[in-house]
């Protein structure tokens, strides 16, 4: 049976274990074409520029999609026409260089180097045809004196260049999920798991991009001039976003029963639907459907602002919210006491403010609820100035309240800051304990590397910080080895007792090798220092009996 690779302590490369960028090891003595391919396009060499090139090309493709959309909005396109033209020239230049580079380096590509004519095989491959069609309209328009506006739609083919990143991820996803059910595949795509691979990361990025786009649209809709120009685009974008989020919501409910804590066709899905993250997903699409189906009964335009709840979907990929909830729950007794004192202080000072200021300013201190507003903004050291005391007693009360507010509001803030710091220390201590158990055998196998990688990502630890923790664990491990456990502790664990016995036998054998056996026998027999049984055991251990 094949064994998983191990990383011995002396050979540990923490950057490799954490999956972070490494410096590429590429020989300078390679021929130019091989050297260029190794640095720019080889997907099997960690630390080269292949992933960076794919990433920036992807950004440029998405940028082209947006420019194509805004070119059909005269109010946006006409004033900035020269910038659109410049961006189009820049994009075509980059895509052309990429195409020519791939054409030149095709003989080094694993897909084409075995062909008789590698470059011809590349030029006729689907990706190369897409790359060619993505820039062809520009050159046709530049060099052929005819109206080729009909060919402008071919620029939409640039979006297909994204398949250069997606197709390998799909192939990896199929390989990881071979012989698994459809529901298990949906689960691997939507929920983090060992079966998701790159495709699951792409899915998360896709959802995050649409969250940001939809929230940005909601914000810009509130600007009347922008809404007037892009009203149709906003409607289409919101409909597409709702469709995407609805499909994602259904996928989560459908596949959640594959999660350990959500078994059961009905109860498991109900439990998933009630979870905070899935409830946020529900709120992200609810305003759209309510407005579509109930607009003839109620004026529900106010619900549009609740589309901003989509921003909360981004909290699924971050542990910040979970840490905040954990910290608040842990410190709630102290924070609730602080909040209670604050509430008493607000009501007391508001009542006194009403008592002393009502006669002088009946329009501003007309009742205690209005005075509570004054007390809160004073206690918070905001002080808008719309309500301010004029009587000497009222002003004195304001001074006292403002000074108390500094301490009252500082207590919860200090508690939260301290609790966050303590939580980070606890998390790192837990990781340190985990590392200690992992490193006990002096090596890190692939499963343990996955654990370290996940913890480092969750705690946002750099390579240097992980290395420092490992060094600390190694030092403590060595100290533990130099400080042997007492016999009664060893005897508590039979496995440990056996290992200790084997170690003692080894030391006895080493003693027999390094000492003079005749002198040892003579010393042992003098004065009966060893009994006959003990001496016979010594002889047997040394192989003399």
Q: 52 with 46: CB under 8 angstroms?
A: no
| Protein fold of 177-317 | 1.20.120
pLDDT of 253:
92
Candidates 1.10.3720.10, 3.40.50.720, 1.10.287.70, 3.40.50.11270; CATH matching 336-416: 1.10.287.70
Q: Give the highest mean pLDDT range of 145-159, 236-250, 322-336, 357-371.
A: 236-250
Q: 189 with 200: CB under 8 angstroms?
A: yes
Which residue has tokens 């990429």?
98
- Helices 163-176 and 197-221, packing angle to 10 deg: 130
pLDDT of 189:
92
At residue 308's C-alpha, the angle toward residues 373 and 202, to 5°, is: 145
pLDDT of 473:
67
Of 210, 113, 95, 83, which Cα lies nearest the Cα of 159?
A: 95
Identify which has the larger pLDDT, 49 or 22.
Answer: 49
User: Which of the residue ranges 2-16, 55-69, 86-100, 171-185 would you say has the lowest mean pLDDT?
Assistant: 2-16
pLDDT of 188:
92
- Cα 458 to chain center, whole Å? 7
Rounded to the nearest integer, the mean pLDDT of the chain is 79
CATH number of 11-171: 1.20.120.350
Q: 234 with 307: CB under 8 angstroms?
A: no
Identify which has the larger pLDDT, 406 or 218.
Answer: 218
Length of the chain: 545
Neighbours of 345 (CB within 10 A): 16
- What does the pLDDT average to over 411-435? 74
Give residue 229's pLDDT band: very low, low, confident or very high (50, 70, 90).
confident
Show the tokens assigned to 362: 């009946």
| Residue-wise pLDDT tens digits, 183-200 | 999 999 998 888 888 898
Give, as one character, the DSSP assignment of residue 527.
Answer: G
DSSP element (H, E) containing 387 = none
SS3 of residue 466 by DSSP? helix
Whether 11-171 and 177-317 share one fold: the answer is yes
- What does the pLDDT average to over 16-24? 57
pLDDT of 97:
92
* Burial tier of 20 (Cβ tally within 10 Å: 0-12, 13-18, 19+): middle
Q: Looking at the predicted structure, is the pLDDT value of residue 49 above 80?
A: yes
Identify which has the larger pLDDT, 124 or 20.
Answer: 124
How far is it, in rounded angstroms, from Cα 106 to Cα 116? 12
User: Which of the residue ranges 174-178, 181-185, 356-360, 493-497 would you say has the lowest mean pLDDT?
Assistant: 493-497
Give, as one character, the DSSP assignment of residue 380.
Answer: T
Give residue 415's pLDDT band: very low, low, confident or very high (50, 70, 90).
confident
User: What are residue 445's phi and psi, to 5 degrees?
Assistant: -90, 180
- What does the pLDDT average to over 52-66? 84
- What does the pLDDT average to over 103-130? 88
pLDDT of 11:
47
How far is it, in rounded angstroms, from Cα 302 to Cα 190? 32
Q: pLDDT above 70 covers what percent of the chain?
A: 80
SS3 of residue 29 by DSSP? coil
User: What are residue 7's phi and psi, to 5 degrees?
Assistant: -115, 110
For residue 331, give every residue at least 6 positions away whose Cβ sits within 8 Å of its Cβ, in sequence order, or none: 415, 416, 419
Domain spans, the chain: 11-171, 177-317, 336-416, 488-541
Which residue has tokens 């960076």?
52
* Burial tier of 336 (Cβ tally within 10 Å: 0-12, 13-18, 19+): exposed
How far is it, in rounded angstroms, from Cα 220 to Cα 411? 38
- Cα–Cα distances in Å, from 157 out to 11, 144, 346, 386? 47, 21, 63, 59
Give residue 148's pLDDT band: very low, low, confident or very high (50, 70, 90).
very low
Give residue 545's pLDDT band: very low, low, confident or very high (50, 70, 90).
low
- What does the pLDDT average to over 38-60? 84
| Residue-wise pLDDT tens digits, 431-466 | 766 766 666 666 666 677 767 766 776 666 666 777
Q: 38 with 48: CB under 8 angstroms?
A: yes
Q: 161 with 57: CB under 8 angstroms?
A: yes
pLDDT of 155:
64
| Residue-wise pLDDT tens digits, 244-283 | 999 999 999 999 999 888 888 888 899 989 888 888 888 8
Of 275, 276, 299, 300, which Cα lies nearest the Cα of 286?
A: 300
Q: Looking at the predicted structure, is the pLDDT value of residue 9 above 50?
A: no
Q: Looking at the predicted structure, is the pLDDT value of residue 284 above 80?
A: yes
- Cα–Cα distances in Å, from 45 out to 33, 127, 421, 449? 16, 22, 39, 20
- What does the pLDDT average to over 373-398? 81
SS3 of residue 436 by DSSP? helix
Q: Looking at the predicted structure, is the pLDDT value of residue 319 above 70?
A: no
For residue 389, give every residue at least 6 positions away whose Cβ sits within 8 Å of its Cβ, in sequence order, or none: 353, 356, 357, 361, 395, 397, 398
pLDDT of 281:
86
Give residue 349's pLDDT band: very low, low, confident or very high (50, 70, 90).
confident
Q: Looking at the predicted structure, is the pLDDT value of residue 290 above 80?
A: yes
- What does the pLDDT average to over 205-215? 87
């Amino acid at each position: 049976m094949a064994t998983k690779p191990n990383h011995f302590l002396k050979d540990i490369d923490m950057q490799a274990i954490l999956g972070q960028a490494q410096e590429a090891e590429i020989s300078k003595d390679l021929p130019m074409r091989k050297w260029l391919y190794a640095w720019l396009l080889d997907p099997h060499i960690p630390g080269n520029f292949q992933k960076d090139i794919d990433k920036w090309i992807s950004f440029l493709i998405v940028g082209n999609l947006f420019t194509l959309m805004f070119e059909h909005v005269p109010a946006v396109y006409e004033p900035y026409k020269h910038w659109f033209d410049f961006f189009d020239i820049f994009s075509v230049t980059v895509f052309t260089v990429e195409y020519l580079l791939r054409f030149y380096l095709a003989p080094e590509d694993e897909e084409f180097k075995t062909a008789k004519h590698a470059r011809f095989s590349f030029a006729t491959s689907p990706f190369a045809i897409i790359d060619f069609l993505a820039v062809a309209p520009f050159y046709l328009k530049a060099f052929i004196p005819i109206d080729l506006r009909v060919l402008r739609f071919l620029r939409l083919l640039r979006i297909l260049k994204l398949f250069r990143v997606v197709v390998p991820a799909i192939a990896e996803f199929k390989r990881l999920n071979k012989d698994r059910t459809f529901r298990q595949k949906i689960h691997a795509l939507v929920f983090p798991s060992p079966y998701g691979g790159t495709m699951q990361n792409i899915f998360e990025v896709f959802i995050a991009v649409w969250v940001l786009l939809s929230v940005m649209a909601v914000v810009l809709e509130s600007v009347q001039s922008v809404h007037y120009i892009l009203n149709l685009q906003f409607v289409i974008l919101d409909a597409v976003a709702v469709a995407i989020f609805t499909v994602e919501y259904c996928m989560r409910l459908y596949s959640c029963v594959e999660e350990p804590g959500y078994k059961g066709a009905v109860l498991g899905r109900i439990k998933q639907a009630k979870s905070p993250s899935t409830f946020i997903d529900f709120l992200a699409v609810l305003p759209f459907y309510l407005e579509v189906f109930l607009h003839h009964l109620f004026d529900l335009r106010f619900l549009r602002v609740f589309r901003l709840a989509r921003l909360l979907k981004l909290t699924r990929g971050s542990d910040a919210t979970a840490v905040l909830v954990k910290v608040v729950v842990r410190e709630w007794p102290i924070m609730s006491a602080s909040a209670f004192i604050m509430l008493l202080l607000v009501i007391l000072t508001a009542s006194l403010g009403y008592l002393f200021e009502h006669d002088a300013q009946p329009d501003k201190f007309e009742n205690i609820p209005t005075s509570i507003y004054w007390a809160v903004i004073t206690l918070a050291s905001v002080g808008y100035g719309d309500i301010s005391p004029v009587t000497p007693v009222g002003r004195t009360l304001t001074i006292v309240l403002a000074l108390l507010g500094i301490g009252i509001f500082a207590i919860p803030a200090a508690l939260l800051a301290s609790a966050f710091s303590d939580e980070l220390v606890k998390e790192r201590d837990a990781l340190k304990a985990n590392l200690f158990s992992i490193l006990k055998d002096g090596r890190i196998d692939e499963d343990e590397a996955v654990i370290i990688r996940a913890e480092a990502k969750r705690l946002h630890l750099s390579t240097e910080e992980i290395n420092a923790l490992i060094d600390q664990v190694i030092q403590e491990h060595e100290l533990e080895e130099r400080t042997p456990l007492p016999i009664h502790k060893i005897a508590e664990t039979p496995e440990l007792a056996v290992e200790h016995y084997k170690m003692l036998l080894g030391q006895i054998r080493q003693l027999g090798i390094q000492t003079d056996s005749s002198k040892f026998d003579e010393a042992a027999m003098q004065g009966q220092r060893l009994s006959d049984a003990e001496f016979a055991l010594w002889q047997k251990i040394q192989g003399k009996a």
